[in-house]
Amino acid sequence: MRNRISGAVSLGLLGITLFFLILTVGFSTGSSADFRGTAVSAVLAVGGLFTGASLVFAKPSGNLPKKCGFYLTHAGIVLLLAGFALFEFAGDSVTAAVPVGGETFYSNIQRENGEICDLGFHFRADSRLIEYDETGYETQYYADLSFADPVTLKIDGETLSVNHPVRRNGWKIYLMSFTYAADGTPAPDYVNLILRRDPGEYAVKAGVVLLIAGTVLELLIGNAVRTKSTTKKEDGHD
Amino acid sequence: MTDSLLRLLIFVQTVCFGAAFVLYLLKKTRPGRVFWLLAETASVTLVIHNFLVNGYVPFVSMYQILTFSAALFGAVYLYIAYFRDAEVRKEFHWTAPYFIGCSLTVSVGLCFMDIAAVWQFPPALRSPWFLPHILVYVIAYIMAAAAFAMTVTKFFVRGDRLRVKQLDGGIYDCVCVLFPCMTAGMLLGAVWANEVWGAFWSWDIKECWALVTWLMFMTWLHFRRTPGLSKFRDLLLIAGFVCVIVTFFFVNGMNAAEMSMHTYN
């Protein structure tokens, strides 16, 4: 019975691998591949359910680090997938091009499909700066943002840069690039931002920690402390 | 160091790796070890030179990453062969020619590479996540190369059960280092992507290939423990290594790479 379950899990995993391989090869050769479609979500959901079931029903063998590693690894995968699912169901992401130096504070962003996204806070871009190295190559972008409280009218500012998003009202704001106005035109420059509200962020991060710790425990540490008795098994390793 | 001196050092390194490889195959391990040490000395010198030129980790071109890889094969072999428990140590010494052979292959490639080319570092790459993300991936990939070499050898010694068993043990030891490193590389990359691009995962072409590669090795680990399926695991490992090659060398040349977040030029 145990061998049958193990066989089913392995074949299921092979199926998932081949599914993503076929999609990826298609994507690489130029055909359209819908990674955000129902099929991918269903495959990931089934994978997550089986991983969760193995946490409950599987009996890992080997020494203590291997056993702990098994549980951490599988729990990590479940948490990761749950975190991604949380974003899909309850998260939000929107891109915005905000004019630099304007007086207006923005709280509603229009999506590409025309819908309005209410951020729940008011902000504007005051200035932008590009840092260069000695060869003239761009090394960092900065944007100074101001946030206004509509009730108290208090304004506070934060500097945003690439790799350093800022948090506001459950949203994370990312600096992506700048769009420059043509010379001689009165049009302003724009700061291009991504704003993302991800309720699954901490679940994903916890999953990352568990998954890395689990594989290290199960394969690196569990294998390093194997004893003479385990090395005598069929293939000499376990 | 001038370019011609660097080229000479790469040539010396290649010759020494070649000599060590042949000597190990002839079971003359003592002189083989001397040549390996010489080759590693040249390799480490090149890595230090790249570090000093950059003033930063030596990962700013394919040449620099491969130079680092050539040196790292020896370091990872030493880790497994000398810093783990006695049983593993005893079982792992025979794998030395595989690691030297991989270093030799990389070193031959280095002889024909543009050593002056450097990648520009846009703001997105200037992050503390860059070093751990690349470093663990390089370790994972070199272990994949060593495991691949052992798997291919298995096809030539199929009749020798003892040899096959020994090779299986070596492959497993390699995957035991490879898989945690590949997992860490992929996930640290995801955490970094969440800091720079606003999403853990974007189904970018590079990410898709990295995921398929990871799934291949995860399936390998499950097949290994499944009676009846374990005999197919060698095919998975070979497919996994092909995915490594695609992810590392070829993804950036694909049409889909034009839209990739991982394309910086």
CB A152, CB A60: distance < 8 Å? no
State whether A162 and B196 contact (CB < 8 Å): yes
Residue B171: closest CA among A237, A224, A230, A220: A237
Residue A238 has what pLDDT? Answer: 40
Which residue in the set A139, A165, A216 is minimally distant from B126, CB to CB? Answer: A139
Rounded Cα gap, residues B157 and B150, in angstroms: 11
**Does A111 share its domain with A47?**
no
Number of folded domains that form chain A = 2
CATH number at residue A103: 2.60.98
CB atoms under 10 Å from CB of A3, counted, come to 12
Are A83 and A109 within one domain?
A: no
B184 at A interface, C-beta within 8 A: yes
Alpha helices (H) along chain A: 2-28, 38-57, 64-90, 201-215, 222-224, 228-231
Residue A22, in any domain of the structure: no
User: CB-based contact (8 Å) between A32 and chain B?
Assistant: no
Residues 11-70 of chain B with CB under 8 A from chain A are none
Number of H helices, E strands in chain B: 9, 0
The secondary structure of A95-129 as a DSSP string is: EEEEEBT-S--EEEEE-TTS-EEEEEEEEEEEEEE
A69 and A115 in a single domain? The answer is: no
For residue A115, being part of any structural domain is answered with yes
Q: Tell me the β-bridge partners of A95.
A: A194
Q: Clarify whether residues A118 and A170 are in a common domain.
A: yes
| Chain B closest-CA separation from residue A22 CA (Å) | 10
Same domain, A119 and A85: no
Rounded to the nearest angstrom, the gap between the alpha carbon of residue B9 and the centroid of all alpha carbons in its chain is: 21
Q: Which domain holds residue A97?
A: 92-197
Q: Cβ separation of A7 and B226 shorter than 8 Å? A: yes
Residues B64, B43 contacting (CB under 8 angstroms): no
CA angle A122, A196, A171 (to 5 degrees): 45
| C-alpha A29 chain-centroid distance | 25
Q: One digit per residue, pLDDT tens: chain B, 265 residues?
A: 788 888 999 999 999 999 999 999 998 888 998 999 999 999 999 999 988 887 778 888 888 899 999 999 988 888 777 766 555 556 677 888 999 999 999 999 999 888 877 777 888 888 999 999 999 999 999 999 999 999 999 999 888 888 888 888 889 989 999 999 999 999 999 999 999 999 999 888 899 999 999 999 999 999 998 888 888 899 999 999 999 999 988 887 676 666 677 776 5
**CB pair distance less than 8 Å for A24 and B222:** no
A36 touches chain B (CB under 8 A): yes
| Distance (Å, whole) CA B166 – CA B168 | 5
Q: Give the ipTM.
A: 0.89
Q: Is residue A15 part of a domain?
A: no
Domain match, A112 and A185 both = yes
| A220/B165 CB distance under 8 A | no
pLDDT at position A231, please? 46
- Residues B249-263 have pLDDT tens digits of 888 767 666 667 777
In a domain, A19, yes or no: no
Specify whether A96 is located in the same domain as A86: no
Interchain pair A215, B122: CB under 8 A: no
Q: Tell me whether residue A187 is in a domain.
A: yes
Q: What residues in B contact A9, CB-CB < 8 Å?
A: 222, 226
Minimal Cβ distance to A17: which of B166, B216, B256:
B216
What is the least distance, in Å, from the CA of B99 to any CA of chain A?
Answer: 19
Closest CB from A93, A161, A236 relative to B198: A93
Domain membership of residue A152 (yes or no) is: yes
Tell whether A190 and A214 lie within a shared domain: no
| Tokens coding B111 | 């002889």
Q: What does the pLDDT average to over A145-169?
A: 89
**Is B226 in CB contact (< 8 Å) with chain A?**
yes
Contact B208/A24, CB-based, under 8 Å?
Answer: yes
- Same domain, residue pair A104 and A171: yes
Would you call A215 an interface residue with chain B, using a CB distance cutoff of 8 Å?
yes
Per the domain annotation, does A39 fall within a domain? Answer: yes
Residues of B in contact with A70 (CB under 8 A): none
Per-residue pLDDT reduced to its tens digit, A71-119: 999 999 999 999 999 998 999 999 999 999 888 889 999 888 888 999 8
DSSP B141-176: HHHHHHHHHHHHHHHHSTT-HHHHHHHHHHHHHHHH
Which of left, alpha, beta for A61 (phi over 0: left; psi -120 to 50: alpha)? beta
Asked if the C-beta of B251 comes within 8 angstroms of chain A's C-beta atoms, the answer is: yes
Q: Is residue A147 part of a domain?
A: yes
Tell me: do A205 and A223 sit in the same domain. Answer: yes
Residue A177 has pLDDT above 60, yes or no: yes
Query: Which DSSP category does B112 fall into?
Result: T
Interface A–B counts its CB contacts (< 8 A) at: 162
Q: Is B84 on the interface with A (CB under 8 A)?
A: yes
| % pLDDT > 90, chain A | 42
Residue A229 pLDDT greater than 60, yes or no: no
Identify whether residues A64 and A154 lie together within a single domain. Answer: no
Q: Are residues A192 and A100 in the same domain?
A: yes
For chain B, strand residue ranges (E) read: none
pLDDT of B183: 97
Distances (CA, A) of B150 to A216, B115, B166, B172: 23, 30, 10, 10
